[in-house]
Amino acid sequence: MQTLPKGHKKLLHAWAFYDWANSVYNLVISSAIFPIFYGAITIANDEQGMVDFMGYSFNNDSLISYVTAFAFLTVSIISPVLSGIADYSGNKKFFLKLFCYLGSLSCIGLFWFNLDYIGLGLLCYYLALIGFWGSIVFYNSYLPDIAHKEQQDKISAKGYSLGYIGSVILLVLCLAMILMHETFGFENEGFPTRLSFILTGLWWMGFAQYSFKHLPKGNTESKNVTKKILFNGYRELKAIAVKIGQNLPQKRYLYAFFSYSMAVQTIMLIATYFGIEELNWGEQDATTGLIISILLIQLVAVLGATLTSKASAKWGNIPVLVVLNVIWVMICTYAFFIETPFQFYIAAAFVGLIMGGIQTLSRSTYSKLIPENAEDTASYFSFYDVAEKIGIVIGMATYGLLSDITGSVRNAIPFFIVFFILGIFFLFRVPKTAAISSQK
């Protein structure tokens, strides 16, 4: 099939459509149904939520946070190797497919998650996370290859918007099966909950085929991969670090991104666990309430991504990112004191509004700061993703430790506030010439 030229409408849509395909993992597995399912089966086994694993007894929240942190550490270690090979061989699509199929099949494997075989279940969770975030490395690296700089804010926002809409559609379907299980012919909500994991995997790999059809193989001429270049990714990463060190706007932006992204990503991963552990649901069904709040976040995030794209066009990327971080500080301060579901819904609405904005703008800002005509875009985005993943490792490990030591997820919130403030500080240090907008 003939390769579509850079900036072509169909190519841009095919790239953005991968968000539609893979975002169901982020919603169903990371944020909504699996966390609630995991919390339910662990608390049903032990009222204190303790889980026996590898001869040790863990708090259920701590165990899943440690597995999550280890998965992100794995991604941060392997992505430089793979992105370096992808840049060298000119075949980043192969790696995008590889991680897509690893993640989607592992989601399907979660259907058999139970405490009798907790190791196998956690392995599927671990591999699904690696599959999702590993594919994101290569998906993000396509952005400067398929879109011109003036297109990148808009198409990045479109990708996130498609992801939010697609994932909400599947979540609503799964929620209908769970809450109305008798109507669908299920004896209880256990089977449709597990069935949601299969549907997530099938949705992800199925809709990804459209993106695979139109995305180019890579951005360089194909070369044979030899043992000599097996660790080329680390050399590339070192070379990219040198280049970034010489690019003051990019360097200072990455300091800021590392700081605030650590807080943003950790909050997104623990929000449901916070709702389960810290809120007084009274007679209200916690499962329904949590899923409603997550749906609220996703729907408002579509508006947030769109508004942020327009704001960056008018005022520039960096000033808008500063404002978003300030709002995050305010939300975290408010969240520290919430006790009721209604207060949680208010926080969820504001989180959704700025979550979509800060994600899409962070990605497109970094893409714009990559030098024009750079061929090693996968390595540039590998550096970006490694920074993000190491931040998540620190965030999740801290969350797990604080949960174990203090017995409350709430005590992690001041930690997040500190890192948002650091993000604001570093954003102010980005040279004004880097306050790029989509019009430039």
DSSP calls for 228-267: GGTTHHHHHHHHHHHHHHT-HHHHHHHHHHHHHHHHHHHH
Distance CA 3, CA 11 (A): 9
Distance CA 412, CA 235 (A): 36
- The DSSP call for residue 27 is I
286: burial class by Cβ within 10 Å (0-12, 13-18, 19+)? middle
Which range has highest mean pLDDT (170-174, 218-222, 378-382, 396-400)?
170-174
Distance CA 51, CA 118 (A): 9
Task: Find the mean pLDDT for residues 383-390.
Answer: 82
- Interior CA angle at 199 toward 194 and 200, to 5°? 95
- Interior CA angle at 329 toward 325 and 334, to 5°? 145
pLDDT value of position 378: 64
Report how far apart, in Å, the C-alpha atoms of 182 and of each of 40, 187, 191, 291 are. Answer: 20, 6, 11, 19
Residue whose C-alpha is closest to residue 292's, from 171, 139, 436: 171
pLDDT value of position 137: 76
Residue-averaged pLDDT of the chain: 81
pLDDT value of position 436: 55
Give me the percent of the chain exceeding a pLDDT of 90: 18
Task: Find the mean pLDDT for residues 368-372.
Answer: 79
Between these two residues, 234 and 73, which has the higher pLDDT value? 73
Lowest mean pLDDT among 21-35, 310-324, 332-346, 365-379: 365-379
Q: Burial letters for 89-126: b for 16+ Cβ neighbours within 10 Å, e otherwise?
A: bbbbbbbbbebbbbbbbbbbbbbebeeeebeebbebbb
43: burial class by Cβ within 10 Å (0-12, 13-18, 19+)? middle
pLDDT value of position 439: 43
Cβ-based neighbours of 182, under 8 Å, separated by 6 or more: none
**Tokens of residue 255, six digits:** 């300091």
pLDDT value of position 435: 47
Distance CA 23, CA 200 (A): 9
Report how far apart, in Å, the C-alpha atoms of 70 and of each of 10, 35, 43, 257, 391 are. Answer: 37, 17, 23, 21, 12
Distance CA 290, CA 153 (A): 31
Model pTM? Answer: 0.75
pLDDT value of position 207: 95
Distance CA 402, CA 405 (A): 5
Instruction: Say which CATH class 9-220+231-434 falls into.
Output: mainly alpha
- The DSSP call for residue 25 is I
Residue whose C-alpha is closest to residue 424's, from 304, 323, 305, 307: 323
- The sign of the torsion formed by the CA atoms of 248, 252, 255, 260 equals negative
Between these two residues, 144 and 199, which has the higher pLDDT value? 199
Torsion (CA) 104, 165, 359, 8 in degrees, nearest 10:
90
How many C-beta neighbours within 10 Å does residue 81 have?
18
Residue whose C-alpha is closest to residue 256's, from 387, 151, 438: 387
- pLDDT band of residue 195 (cuts 50, 70, 90) is very high
What digits encode the pLDDT tens for the residues 91-141? Answer: 778 888 999 999 999 999 999 988 888 888 899 999 999 999 888 878 877
Task: Find the mean pLDDT for residues 396-419.
Answer: 80
What digits encode the pLDDT tens for the residues 51-99? Answer: 777 767 777 777 888 888 888 889 888 877 776 666 666 677 888 899 9
Residue whose C-alpha is closest to residue 436's, from 262, 250, 303, 243: 250
Residue whose C-alpha is closest to residue 309's, from 324, 298, 296: 324
List the domain boundaries for the chain: 9-220+231-434
- The DSSP call for residue 4 is P
313: burial class by Cβ within 10 Å (0-12, 13-18, 19+)? middle
Distance CA 9, CA 301 (A): 24
